């Protein structure tokens, strides 16, 4: 028995939120990308319901352009914790003619995910989707609620959000509406990394420095492989790199790094001067890129 337990206020808040989800909704689901934020959510959910199992399934929207290391990690985690995993594929949405593949230099399936996600929500009648987005990631996210109500089309109306007072969460919704829930809204990137280190949470290998075939474009480091469009003059070279976020290969740039342990990574984040989403090519399209995507139902 430990005598003095000092709660970590951010962890306690996240656990509180996850319990509210389980209590207030009939069919919640945890959106799992295989990235560090959703892995952190899984740990928090374990803590929230222990010794019972996590009372909701995980949903992975697979773009088909995921890093293989992420998929491998996902399957291992699900098996270890005995969780239910639902996978829905962007490729299926393309095959059904619901969306069409982007072409050219900046082609990415990132924005196509929205359709697949909304279809999955309808198919399983999910009323709450738990995600690992954080307010410190991006300007438009800074105003996101913990319980963010979306209409039938998954749309976010930033001018008409419910105010969230104290820690009372209002998850009452009308038929057709659903709620996006962000339990780690108040965490920063550094908080997440320090938590992963303190808790000794396993994460996919691509977060650590490794040798990889890459090429440089617009000052960013891109993975060189068949899913990523590359022009003949863009030379492939081998570099020591790691990833700060785990999105698609087509929209996640690497950073040069020699951080091979969690301690190295935490030290690197502390010193780093480029923000996390600075390495996300999808946000570079315009200053207001994230806000525009959120309005149409992106996470």
Instruction: State yes or no: residue 9 binds other proteins (CB under 8 A).
Output: yes
| Sole window of 92-100, 111-119, 160-168, 225-233 interacting with other proteins (rule: CB under 8 A) | 160-168
Nearest to 30 by CA among 46, 16, 11: 46
Nearest to 121 by CA among 247, 294, 295, 299: 299
Q: Which of 6, 80, 125, 232 binds other proteins (CB under 8 A)?
A: 6
Instruction: State yes or no: residue 157 binds other proteins (CB under 8 A).
Output: no
CA separation, residue 58 to residues 2, 27, 86 (Å): 33, 11, 6
Least Å distance, CB 57 to other proteins, is 17
Question: H or E segment at 243?
Answer: strand 237-243
Instruction: State yes or no: residue 164 binds other proteins (CB under 8 A).
Output: yes
| Sole window of 18-26, 87-95, 209-217, 254-262 interacting with other proteins (rule: CB under 8 A) | 18-26
C-alpha span between 71 and 207 (Å, rounded): 14
Instruction: State yes or no: residue 2 binds other proteins (CB under 8 A).
Output: yes
C-alpha span between 171 and 189 (Å, rounded): 27
- Check: CB of residue 279 under 8 Å from CB of residue 245: yes
60-94 burial code (b ≥16 CB/10 A, e <16): bbbbebbbebbeebbeebbeeeebeeeebebbebb
Strands 147-150 and 128-130: unpaired
Count of residues touching other proteins (by CB under 8 A): 64
Binders of other proteins in range 124-153 (CB under 8 A): 135-136, 139-140, 142-143
- Check: CB of residue 22 under 8 Å from CB of residue 55: yes
Q: Which of 188, 205, 210, 240 binds other proteins (CB under 8 A)?
A: 188
Least Å distance, CB 125 to other proteins, is 18
Least Å distance, CB 227 to other proteins, is 26
Least Å distance, CB 161 to other proteins, is 7
Instruction: State yes or no: residue 47 binds other proteins (CB under 8 A).
Output: yes
Least Å distance, CB 139 to other proteins, is 4
- Check: CB of residue 64 under 8 Å from CB of residue 94: no
C-alpha span between 46 and 78 (Å, rounded): 12
Instruction: State yes or no: residue 167 binds other proteins (CB under 8 A).
Output: yes
Q: Contact residues for other proteins (CB under 8 A)? A: 1-3, 5-13, 15-16, 19-20, 22-23, 46-53, 135-136, 139-140, 142-143, 158-159, 161-168, 170, 172-174, 185-186, 188, 190-191, 194-195, 197-198, 266, 272-275, 278, 287-288, 291
């Amino acid at each position: 028995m430990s005598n003095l337990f000092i709660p970590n206020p951010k962890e306690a808040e996240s656990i509180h939120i996850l319990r509210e989800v389980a209590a207030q909704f009939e069919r919640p689901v945890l959106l799992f990308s295989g990235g560090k934020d959703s892995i952190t959510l899984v740990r928090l959910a374990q803590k929230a319901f222990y010794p019972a199992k996590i009372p909701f399934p995980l949903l992975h929207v697979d773009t088909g352009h995921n890093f293989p290391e992420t998929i491998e990690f996902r399957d291992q985690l699900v098996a270890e914790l005995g969780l239910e995993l639902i996978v829905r594929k962007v490729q299926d949405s393309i095959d059904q003619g619901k969306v069409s593949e982007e072409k050219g230099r900046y082609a990415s399936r990132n924005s196509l995910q929205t359709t697949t996600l909304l279809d999955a929500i309808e198919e399983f009648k999910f009323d709450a989707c738990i995600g690992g987005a954080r307010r410190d990631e991006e300007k438009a996210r800074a105003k996101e609620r913990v319980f963010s109500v979306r209409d039938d089309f998954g749309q976010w109306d930033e001018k008409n959000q419910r105010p969230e007072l104290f820690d009372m969460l209002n998850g009452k919704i009308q038929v057709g509406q659903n709620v996006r829930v962000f339990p780690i809204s108040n965490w920063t990137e550094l908080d997440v990394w320090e938590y992963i280190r303190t808790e000794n949470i396993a994460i996919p290998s691509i977060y650590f420095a490794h040798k990889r075939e890459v090429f440089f474009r617009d000052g960013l480091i891109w993975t060189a492989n068949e899913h990523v469009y590359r022009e003949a003059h863009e030379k492939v070279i081998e570099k020591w790199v790691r990833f700060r976020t785990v999105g698609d290969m087509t929209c996640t740039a690497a950073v040069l790094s020699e951080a091979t342990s969690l301690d190295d990574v935490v030290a690197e984040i502390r010193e780093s001067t480029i923000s996390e989403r600075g390495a996300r090519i999808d946000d570079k399209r315009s200053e207001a890129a994230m806000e525009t995507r959120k309005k149409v139902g992106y996470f």
